[in-house]
Amino acid sequence: MSAPPSISVDGARLLRRLDELAHIGAIPGTRGCSRLALGDGDRQGRDLVVTWMRDLGLDVTVDGVGNVVATMVGWDPDVAPVLAGSHIDTVDRGGRYDGNLGVLAGLEVIERCLELGLRPPRPLAVAFFTDEEGSRFAPDMLGSLVYVGGMGLEAALEVRDRDGFAVGAELERIGYRGAAPCPARPPAAYVELHIEQGPILDLEDVTIGAVTGVQGISWTEVTFEGQANHAGTTPMHLRRDAGYAAAEVAVAVRTIVAEAGGHQVGTVGSLRLVPDLVNVVAGQATFTVDLRNTDEGALQAVEARVAARIAAVAAAEGITVSSRPLARFEPVPFAPEVVDLVETTAAALGHSCRRLPSGAGHDAQMLARVCPTGMVFVKSQGGISHNPAEHTEDHDVVAGADVLANVMLHLAAATAPPEV
């Protein structure tokens, strides 16, 4: 086995496709777009990408939950591909790069290989997974979760949005309830190019991020029940102020996170008071705590400290607590050999590179359950994402796609099936 050649993608073509896809569901006056999963915009986006896939002569399959996989043809069907992918659904008011970049860059890698007449030891493939954002159907990363067998197909098809529309019925409606089986046969490896959605690469002016894994996520919703009272007539020592108690917890989360250090982050992003009036002591407060860490043990320790603080604050204020978990994912480490490969490939192409964990969830964390997996990050200007203002410079887009291309070819070579 010889080392694969170093290739460059056709950057202009990739950027054209990114732009064309972004016109579907475009948000007027912005460069962003809105294509919620399985809506009409998503259908049009899917149709466009599938047309591009078919135009390249790829074998396009659609599975029961609407995941679309396009594979190079001409290999023994038992030879698992090296898969690139991501998603093309967006949040309600999203940017043009999130998800779309990974899919269109994977397609570009395949097209470039076909143009160059390269035949890797394994086929290359590109996928887009259903409902990664979770903005319409919970949980997020639904399609890739089903793809790897983490959720049964029947259960997934019954998931409903808040208007009562089910995933299954919506797939039928838009013509993307396919016949390919779920869970799918695992690919030989999976690589996902994505914008960072955070500020690190931009701040440090580093072109490529070699993603070490995805942070563990712990989301909890807490409700404090105190007593609504007149803000003028209720002495301070008689108050059972749910709003004050929630504020104390929000401040404590910052302190606990700082003391934990490392990759720990923590956020109280939602906080609602009842009755929420200037002259009434809040009788009820509902707030969320979002804790993330790349280390499961450290995350659990912080969860325990926050829970203890919530209990202590509530007891001191004489209020009752109820809480419910909204989400809990353990950290997902990516395959060390793939992380190394991203780093060495970036260096070989002359790009600055650093390792970093992903703070956001990605389809790659699902694929990591079934095959060697890694991710390539490129800059998000100002760290802004999930926002029409999301922006990545053209040269960074192309740099990321070049790294993706060469990582995929290396993976195809490194995992070459035995000669028969």
Using CB under 8 A as the criterion, which residues of the chain lie in contact with its own copies when the complex forms? 196-200, 203, 215, 217, 219, 221, 228-236, 238, 241, 243-244, 246-248, 250-251, 254, 257-258, 265-273, 276-282, 288, 290, 292, 326, 358-361, 383-387
Residue appearing with tokens 């960072």: 196
CB of 53 to its own copies, least distance (A): 30
Cα–Cα–Cα angle for 112, 398, 104, nearest 5°? 60
User: CA-CA distance, 181 to 169, in Å (whole number)?
Assistant: 18
Return the number of the residue (149 or 359) whose C-beta is nearest its own copies: 359
Which residue's CB is nearer to its own copies, number 71 or number 264? 264
Q: Which is nearer to its own copies, 64 or 283 (CB)?
A: 283
Is 123 or 266 the residue whose CB approaches its own copies more closely?
A: 266
Nearer to its own copies, 258 or 348 (CB): 258
Q: Which residues of 119-150 are buried (b: 16+ CB within 10 A; e: fewer)?
A: ebbbbbbbbbbbbbbbbbbebbbbbbbbbbeb
200 Cβ partners below 8 Å, 6+ apart? 206, 209, 354, 356, 383
CB of 273 to its own copies, least distance (A): 6
Pairing of strands 373-378, 271-274: unpaired
- Beta-carbon neighbour count of residue 304 at 10 Å? 11
Contact 386, 32 (CB under 8 A): no
Nearest distance in Å: CB 385, its own copies? 6
Residue 31 beta carbon to its own copies: minimum distance, rounded to whole angstroms: 18
CB of 97 to its own copies, least distance (A): 14
Query: Considering beta carbons, is residue 246 or 409 the nearer one to its own copies?
Result: 246
Name the minimum Å distance from CB 92 to its own copies. 10
> Which CB atom, from 100 or from 385, has the smaller least distance to its own copies?
385
- Tell me the angle at which helices 336-348 and 394-414 cross, rounded to the nearest 10 degrees: 130
Distances (CA, A) of 156 to 99, 100, 125, 160: 21, 23, 24, 9
- What is the C-alpha to C-alpha distance for residues 416 and 68, in angstroms, rounded to an integer? 24
Q: What are phi and psi of 333, to 5 degrees?
A: -80, 140
Beta carbons of 184 and 66 less than 8 angstroms apart: no
Nearer to its own copies, 186 or 199 (CB): 199
How many residues are recorded in the chain?
420
Q: How far is the CB of 236 from its own copies (least distance, A)?
A: 6
Q: How far is the CB of 136 from its own copies (least distance, A)?
A: 15
